[in-house]
Structure formats: C-alpha cells, structure tokens
Amino acid sequence: MNISCSAQKKIIEIPSEGTAVIAGYWSPKLGLNPQPAFVTWKEGKINRLTPVQESEHIDGNTLAWDSYYLQPGWIDAHVHLALDSIDFYQCLKNWENPELIEEKIQGFLENYLKLGIVAVRDGGDLPGFSWLARRKVQEGIWPGPRVISVREAVNRQGMYGRFLGRGFDSLTAWHDQAPGFYQQGLDQLKVIVSGLIRFDRYQVVGPTQWTAKELRDIVETAHRRGILVMAHASGEEGISVAIAAGVDSIEHGYYMTGQHLEQMKKQGIAWVPTVAPIGNILKYPTDRYSPQEVDILKRILDSQISGIHEAYQSDVRIGVGTDAGAYLVPHGESLFDEIAWLAQAGIPKLDLFSLLTRENARILGREDLGDLDLGTAMDSLQLAASPL
C-alpha cells in the first residue's frame, strides 16, 4: 500500500503492518499535537497513536518519520480529470485519442497523490474518462487518489454542458432514460442548472435549464437511491432553483446572495465556490482577456470572496473544490491556489484544513475519509510539513 508524503512531494510504499515515529499529528477530531508520537497500523489501519516516552526503545523496524506530521489527506471536491487546464477546445479534440487522454489522466492522478490529495470528486465528461480513472485506481492499476465520479451530468439538450452529458430535451425524456442512466454507474448525480457566467457583462449568466419543480423531480430520483446531488448553478435564478429543488451541494455559485446563504444554512446545503477559475486568471495574467473583461473578473472575484466570508461567518457549509482542468486551474497545484483564495476570505488556517478534509469528505459522501483516528486507513492520510 502507499501513503502520500506531501512534505517531499512523493509517494511512499509502506507495508500493511508497521510502526513509525512521527513529529506530531493533526486532525479535525484530535486537534493539533506538536509532540513526537508513535503510530502503529495493522491490516492497513491505525491501531495505536501514542506519545513517545523517553524510556521507550525505538528498534530498527520502526520507520523514522520524525520530520513529518501525520494528518488526513486533502480532498478536492470539484475537478475534471478529462480536461487539461490549457486549451479547452483542443482538449475536446484530443478526446478522439483515448490513449492520449488516459496517459494525461494517469499523470494528473499521480501528481494529486504526491501533493497529499487522497480523493477528488470529478464533475463528469461525456466519454466517461473519469469513470475509467475511478475504476483503474480502485483496482490498483493506476496509483492515485480515490475518484468519486458523477460519470456524466444531466443537462438540457442543446444548452450548456454538452461535453459533460448526453442532454435531455424534457423531463419526460429524463424519466424514460433514467433507469439506464443510473445502471451505467455513478457515485453522485450532477445536474447542470444554469449556464456559464459571462466575463464581458457583470451578473449575466447563461439561462437556467430546469424549473424548480422539474429539478426537484430529478433530485428525488437520486435521493430515492441514496445518491447525493451536486448542482452546477450560478446567478440569482439558477441558485434559487437549485436550493428550492433540495440539492446537496451548489457548485460555483457565482453571485450568491445573503438570502441564498440563509436558505442553504437552513437546509444544510453545501457551497463549493471554486474561486480558482476566476482568481487564477487575475493571479497569472495572460493577454487572453480584454481590459474590460479583466475589470469584470475583478468584480466577480471580489463578490465571490465577500460571499465566502459571509458564508463562513454564518456557519454555512463550505467545501473546497478547484474546478481543476479549467483554464489556468492545473490538476493538483490549483488546490493551493484555492486555499489561498479562501484564506483571503478570512477563513483561519486550521478551519481551512477542516474544510479540506472532514467537510469535503461529507460532501463526497465518504465518511471514511477526512480524519485521523484509530481505525483510519493509512492510505487516506498524508505525511506533511508541520501545520504550524
């Protein structure tokens, strides 16, 4: 089995049973322990985590991890493994060459694990590359983080999202095809509620694709199966429809209002605000956008940061997702851009760590991830630099 050593940006192979000395540890449940400790695991799971006593003998079989802190692995709650963050349209053309895409995805997955990211939630692609990646990792063929995949998204035919899903021209068409849609396999259901935001006009978003009643109907088909629903939604109308339909998480959520946040808190809906696709365009400037578009992007960024601050202060659930694969949002490294943007919104460091681990695990529907305690799988953790 493997463990991520993010402190050295590498993957370490470890036995299924062993003991190590660590510099300390952190987890949402146990808090921060900055003192040396023993960690012992059996059948790949922790069965001892105790302070090092001066009188204790450290034998030659004990792994020397005394430069590292043990902590839960990071989780990126929104990625697109089939996109390369460089050229969207060229990437879609490259989908005609599956071997090339699979090679790139293998590289992305390995990079995630080297950086301490032990799980990602993929927002889908029509050919099913992310679902293939999920299977390859699950079967141990490819090294990488756990992949939680929607497989393909549910969108209105002829509207935004044609690269994410087949499209349905009506609610009736969805119900006709829903049994087969679910039978092909998926971890979560993703619904496209609104189009994209515009960079040339502030507060303008592509049209809403479903009524609240239609979307509630779609959401209930998933909930009856015990499946969580993530909703791509921005703009006042799109977000309002997603909330009214009872989705489990709102992805992007540009132009989120205070009223939206109140409703989300009441219903326990999580917000994954994906700041990096906007913020990174300003952080890593190119000549791709006009001065007018740059000004609009700055307004959108300020609005998103302000909304996140309000959400945090109001105790709304916040997830950390990058939309990796989008332009200038590279797989792996962009999680640290996203962390920086959320920190700019006023979220303290250890609270951010909790969002990156325990809260993201809730959003993924994977309670086995995101924490460190007795019984935790070693391959869901990372050996990191000191959180201090």
Q: What is the pLDDT of residues 306-333, one digit of tens each?
A: 999 999 999 999 999 999 999 999 999 9
pLDDT at 250: 98
Distances (CA, A) of 150 to 177, 365, 381: 16, 12, 24
Domain containing 246 equals: 74-364
The C-alpha atoms of residue 77 and residue 18 are separated, in whole angstroms, by 31
**Residue 42 shares a structural domain with residue 101:** no
Task: Give the distance from CA 69 to its chain's centroid.
Answer: 23
In terms of domains, do 201 and 319 share one?
yes
Count of domains observed in the chain: 2
Stretch 126-139: mean pLDDT = 98
Whether this prediction's pTM lies above 0.85 is answered by: yes
Considering the domain architecture, whether residues 153 and 27 belong to the same structural domain is answered as: no
Q: Specify the pLDDT at position 388.
A: 80
Residue 387 has pLDDT above 80, yes or no: yes
**Residue 57: its pLDDT value, please?**
67
In this structure, the number of other CB atoms found within 10 A of the CB of residue 352 comes to 20
Residues 50 and 85 in one domain: no
Whether residue 39 is found in the same domain as residue 166: no
Residue 71: phi and psi, rounded to 5, are: -155, 165
Is residue 170 domain-shared with residue 316, that is, in the same domain? yes
One-letter amino acid at 112 equals Y
Co-location of 54 and 86 in the same domain: no
Clarify whether residues 296 and 201 are in a common domain: yes
Neighbouring C-beta atoms of residue 383, cutoff 10 Å: 25
How far apart are alpha carbons 235 and 186 in whole angstroms? 27
- Are 219 and 238 members of one domain? yes
Rounded CA separation 288/334 (Å): 20
Number of helices (H), then strands (E), belonging to the chain: the values are 12, 15
Secondary element (H or E) of residue 362: helix 360-364
Identity of residue 246: G
Whole-angstrom distance, CA of residue 110 vs CA of residue 11: 8
Check which CATH number belongs to the domain holding 9 and give it. Answer: 2.30.40
- Buried b vs exposed e over 107-133: b needs ≥16 C-beta within 10 Å? ebbbbbbbbbbbbbbbbbbbebbbbbb
Q: Looking at residue 55, what is its pLDDT?
A: 57
At 315 the pLDDT is: 98
The tokens for 237 are 């109308």
Residues 205 and 339 in one domain: yes
**Is the CB of residue 265 less than 8 Å from the CB of residue 314?**
yes
Reported as a single tens digit per residue, the pLDDT across 5-58 is 999 999 999 999 999 999 999 999 999 999 999 999 999 999 999 999 865 667
pLDDT on residue 60: 73
Same domain, 339 and 196: yes
pLDDT at position 53: 81
The reported pLDDT for the residue numbered 54 is 65
Q: What is the pLDDT of residues 326-373, one digit of tens each?
A: 999 999 999 999 999 999 999 999 999 999 999 999 999 999 999 999
pLDDT digits (tens, 9 = 90+) for 252-297: 999 999 999 999 999 999 999 999 999 999 999 999 999 999 999 9
The pLDDT, as a whole number, for residue 79 is 98
Residues 67 and 86 in one domain: no
DSSP state at residue 208: P
Three-state SS at 216: helix
pLDDT for res 56: 66
Taking the C-alpha atoms of residue 279 and residue 290, their distance in angstroms, rounded to an integer, is 16
